[in-house]
């Protein structure tokens, strides 16, 4: 996997202080190259990427491909989402109970989301918090605007049993209807979400040598 990475990708891997984080990054980027290369008929190491002003990567325009992608890793999981002709974002987080989720929600989430979380206690609180967090992060990735899109500028569903969805967006309230959100079942220790533009698409999931990835079409 490491051999297929470009010089700049290897340099970014070298910035990780923890070996486990570096390995996850290598696996995520390496498998992304394998999957994209398979899709457009190139070897993984031949692929070239372009980056926009927010740092979001895409396949070089010279390939003429409509493939878009998103990668996320946490704990022992790496998720890769591929979509053809539509923006896509994916996020996975290990559920941690040693952090003050109420404080984080008050700092980063919308007022409505924070109020919903404030009414919860115990394991359900952490389940709801990370459901909210992953859906928000997936949307930010799909939009491709990085930290320039504040997490309190839109709202997502988060309560257990509630249908995953984008509930409200600012300044354009119609933006919410453009996206479909799915919660991904990746085990009790993690929460994961995928979002893609449009409603008429289907999701297929595969397991590849321990790295979970999602492919939406």
Task: Note the pLDDT of residue 209.
Answer: 55
Task: Note the pLDDT of residue 71.
Answer: 93
Report the C-alpha gap between 81 and 173 in whole angstroms. Answer: 26
Name the nearest CA neighbour of 201 among 92, 105, 83, 114. 83
- Residue pLDDT, tens place only, 154-186: 999 999 999 999 999 999 999 999 999 999 999
Task: Note the pLDDT of residue 26.
Answer: 81
Task: Note the pLDDT of residue 6.
Answer: 66
Task: Note the pLDDT of residue 213.
Answer: 38
For tokens 């967006």, the residue is 169
Task: Note the pLDDT of residue 3.
Answer: 66
Cis peptide before 171 (omega within 30 of 0): yes
Give the CB-side neighbour count of residue 179, counting CA atoms within 13 A: 31
Question: 144: left (phi > 0), else alpha (psi -120 to 50), else beta?
Answer: left
Taking 50 as the pLDDT cut, the residues of the chain under it are 210-217
> What are the structural domains of the chain?
2-65 (3.90.470.20), 89-216 (3.90.470.20)
């Amino acid at each position: 996997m490491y051999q297929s990475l470009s010089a700049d990708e290897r340099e970014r891997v070298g910035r990780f202080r923890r070996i486990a984080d570096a390995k996850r990054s290598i696996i995520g980027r390496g498998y992304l190259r394998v999957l994209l290369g398979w899709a457009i008929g190139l070897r993984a190491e031949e692929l070239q990427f372009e980056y926009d002003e927010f740092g979001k990567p895409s396949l070089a325009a010279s390939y003429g491909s409509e493939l878009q992608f998103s990668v996320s890793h946490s704990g022992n999981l790496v998720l890769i989402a591929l979509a053809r002709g539509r923006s896509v974002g994916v996020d996975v987080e290990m559920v941690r109970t040693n952090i003050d989720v109420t404080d984080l929600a008050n700092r980063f989430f919308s007022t409505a989301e924070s109020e919903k979380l404030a009414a919860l206690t115990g394991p359900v609180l952490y389940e709801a918090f990370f459901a909210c967090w992953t859906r928000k992060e997936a949307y930010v990735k799909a939009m491709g605007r990085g930290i320039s899109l504040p997490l309190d500028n839109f709202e997502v569903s988060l309560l257990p049993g509630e249908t995953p969805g984008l509930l409200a967006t600012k300044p354009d309230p119609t933006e919410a209807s453009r996206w479909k959100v799915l919660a991904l079942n990746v085990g009790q220790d993690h929460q994961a979400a995928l979002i893609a533009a449009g409603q008429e698409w289907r999701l297929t999931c595969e397991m590849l040598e321990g790295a979970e990835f999602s492919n939406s079409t």
